[in-house]
Chains A and B, each alone.
Chain A
Amino acid sequence: MAPLLDVEGLVVDIAVHSGALHAVRDVSFQVDRGETLCLVGESGCGKTMTALALMGLLPSAARRRVRRLAFQGESLATAAADRMASLRGHRMVMVFQEPMTALNPAYTIGNQLAEGHRRHLGSSRLVARERAVELLEKLGVNAASERLRQYPHQLSGGLRQRVMIAMALMCAPSLLIADEPTTALDVTVQAQILRLLIELQRDFGIGILLITHDLGVVARVAHRVAVMYAGEIVESGTTAAVFAAPRHPYTRGLMTSIPVPGQTPPGGRLGAIPGIVPSLIGEMRGCAFRDRCAHALTICTAPVAWRAEENHGWRCVLSPSPAHAEVA
């Protein structure tokens, strides 16, 4: 069966003063129904640009090229603007990081919830309202019908994020793209929201593309993970496989950078990755991580091929070694 979302060879270039910024460089992945794929990376790695490119929401200075972009079997690579507009908010939805800036402060919650439903499905105000209340209650929002009359600023961060998720689900989408949906929330609220997403996926078979920088979220929520660095996917596979044996030095570096309660010796040094992300402007050849990699070789200056094992692939010339890498 065709995957829900099939992306191959996605490239996004942004015109800047000093040349072209290669925000996304040849990214390929798939998301299936009822499955969660996490795009993991730090700031500047291109994960948000990837999501915007899929939704057709790139800034005007950005150019997108893609070999294949198919949603539910339909090719979207050259889709017209109104085709994208009819899919967006209906079949493909996106949830953002900052619910306060994503919700319009001038309109009530009820108004914003009903808007998409009425536009895409032509429903009446009453029907849309009922659906909104139904969803809000399912998402654990108490006093849902009264809340419809409230404005975003009257709600806490956790509530607002639930409203955002409800907005996304109004038209029963097939694909949910969530860009750091819980980063701005308190830790206890984050756990609740993530549980909700998992439940909804189980109940409705939604495919989720979850973008995050938090490896803890990835481990607990994702079926599969793709690690991005400097616009490329450097490692991907099932969560179990990647976490059990990370192959790419960047992935390893990320994992040793995070203190894990009960495992990392307190008060000791963390395995930090030295240096900073390279510039994405201008020509880029070979492995983008080589300047920060303790194991870099001269052949790393040439383009690096993708290597694949079962359920696990990575872009590095090093042979997998049983020892973990101390990158310091």
Chain B
Amino acid sequence: MTPLIEARDVSHSFIIGRGPFARKRLLHAVVGVNLTVRKGEVLGLVGESGSGKTTLGRMLLGLIAPSSGRIRVGDMDLADINRKALARRIQPVFQDPYSSLNPRKRVVSIVALPLAVLGIGTVNERRAKAIAMLERVGLLPRYADVYPSELSGGQRQRVAIARALVIEPDIVLLDEPTSALDVSVQAQILNLLTDIKRDLGLTYIFISHNLAVIEHVATQVAVMYLGRIVETADRETIFRGPRHPYTKALLASVLTPEPGLGVPDIGLGLAFPNPLDPPTGCPFHPRCTESGPRCRVEVPRVVRDERGLVACHLHDGGVRMVS
């Protein structure tokens, strides 16, 4: 079956420089990303700050054009983008429940906006659909005419989810949807997302830095570091048998609520990466406990096999210099 989303060698660089006369520098936010998402999957996109996961998400939404590479969503190549057609396929839910809803509009108007933009139905029909979707996400109809300032964080996220779903997209891109919520509210929202996915046959791209949440919701996982995807595999493989040293370090950093185990030493060292001046060769090598001479000079190529995808010399001939 053809994948729903395919990204081939996608890169994006931002030009950083102040004013018209400053020296321009390039920030390579996303570098050479290859990704496939199949219908019904939940792709967990994992990374820390500076990994490029948010930029990649914006590219998949068609909001940022890649500097190079191709992205296909459904049967649309994003290079000849038809914004409204793309909107029908993929919709976002963002992290911050306080900035993702227009404070000057009522809830029902916020949820009905996508319908209005795409010209679906009459005003009354749109209102009815919006209210129906609000109920679906657990907000009673009396919330339709309130303003976002009257809602809690969890309620606002529900509104954001309703807005994303009202035009019945195939794919929902969730960018840290529960990171700004309390733990108990997070559980409510995650349950809601699970139920809706099942009921509406959705496909999710779930961006998060919280590995425990990813382990719970994702079917496939892609790990990003400094703009590159360093490893991709299905959930079991990533969590039981990670291959890339960064993935291992990430997993080791997860603090499970089990007393007596202390805080592990993941040995990453202090060499914090500067995205404007990335290391030569493998971007992770300055912090890698298993690096070798080859890692400093040669960028690892992406190795694909039955377990998934990994970009590391350890799995491509070793870290000694190849003459």
Flag whether B196 is at the interface (Cβ < 8 A): no
Give the 10 A-B CB pairs with smallest separation, nearest first: A216-B255, A259-B216, A257-B187, A272-B187, A42-B182, A186-B48, A270-B187, A261-B215, A215-B257, A273-B184
Known interface pairs A187-B254, A272-B191; A220-B48 also in contact (CB < 8 Å): no
Which of these, B191, B249, B253, B262, contacts A269 with CB under 8 Å? B191
Residue in B209, B219, B258, B263 whose Cβ sees the most chain A Cβ within 10 Å:
B263
Interface centre among B152, B268, B272, by most chain A C-beta atoms within 10 angstroms, is B272
Contact pick for B194, options A157, A188, A215, A269, CB 8 Å:
A269
Quote the shortest CB–CB distance from A14 to chain B (angstroms). 19
A221 at interface, CB cutoff 8 A: yes
Chain A residues with CB below 8 A from B186, complex form: 257
Contacts of A221 in B (CB 8 A): 263
Q: How far is the CA of A219 from the CA of B262 in the complex (A)?
A: 8
List B residues at the A interface (Cβ < 8 Å).
48-49, 152-154, 182-188, 190-191, 194, 209-213, 215-217, 219, 235, 239, 249-250, 252-266, 268, 270, 272
Most A CB within 10 A of own CB, among B153, B154, B255: B255
Question: Which of B153, B185, B260, B263 touches A191 (beta carbons < 8 Å)?
Answer: B263
The smallest C-beta distance from B214 to any residue of chain A, in angstroms, reads 9
Q: How many angstroms from the CA of A264 to the CA of B255 in the assembled complex?
A: 15
Whether A260 contacts B152 by the Cβ 8 Å rule is: no
The interface size bin for chain A is 35 or more
Nearest neighbor of A217 in chain B, beta-carbon distance: B255
Nearest to B261 among chain A residues (CB) is A220
| 25 A-B contacts (beta carbon < 8 Å) | A42-B184, A43-B182, A186-B48, A188-B250, A188-B266, A190-B253, A191-B253, A191-B266, A194-B255, A195-B265, A213-B182, A219-B257, A220-B261, A220-B263, A243-B259, A254-B184, A257-B184, A259-B213, A260-B256, A260-B258, A262-B239, A266-B215, A267-B194, A267-B219, A270-B191
- Residues on A with C-beta less than 8 A from B183 are 42, 213, 215, 254, 257-258
Is A218 located at the chain interface by the 8 A CB criterion?
A: yes
CA–CA, A188 and B288, complex, Å: 13
* Contact B184 A261, beta carbon cutoff 8 Å: no
Identify the closest chain B residue to A194 (Cβ): B263
Task: Kindly identify which residue among A43, A218, A270 contacts B216, using a CB–CB cutoff of 8 Å.
Answer: A270
* A234→B49 CA distance, assembly (Å): 35
CB within 8 A of A159: which of B152, B262, B272?
B272
Which of A140, A195, A218, A274 lies in contact with B257, CB distance below 8 A?
A218
A216-231 contacts to B, CB under 8 A, are 216-221
Taking CB atoms, residues of chain B closer than 8 Å to A274 are 188
Contacts of B254 in A (CB 8 A): 187, 216, 261
Question: Contact flags (1/0) for A248-264 with B, using CB distance below 8 Å?
Answer: 00000111111111111
Q: A42-B182, A257-B187 are in contact. Are A243 and B257 (CB under 8 A)?
A: yes
B215 and A259: CB pair below 8 A? yes
Task: Give a binary string over A180-224; 1 marks a CB under 8 Å from any B CB, 0 the rest.
Answer: 000000111111101100100000000000000111111111000
B257 adjacent to A261 (CB under 8 Å):
no
Contact present for B212 and A259 (CB under 8 Å):
yes
A265 to B272, CA, bound (A): 35
Given contacts A253-B184, A276-B154, contact A258 B191 (CB under 8 A): no
Contact A270 B257 (CB under 8 A): no
> How far apart are the CA atoms of A254 and B188 in the complex, in Å?
12
Asked if residues A272 and B184 are in contact (CB atoms below 8 Å), the reply is yes
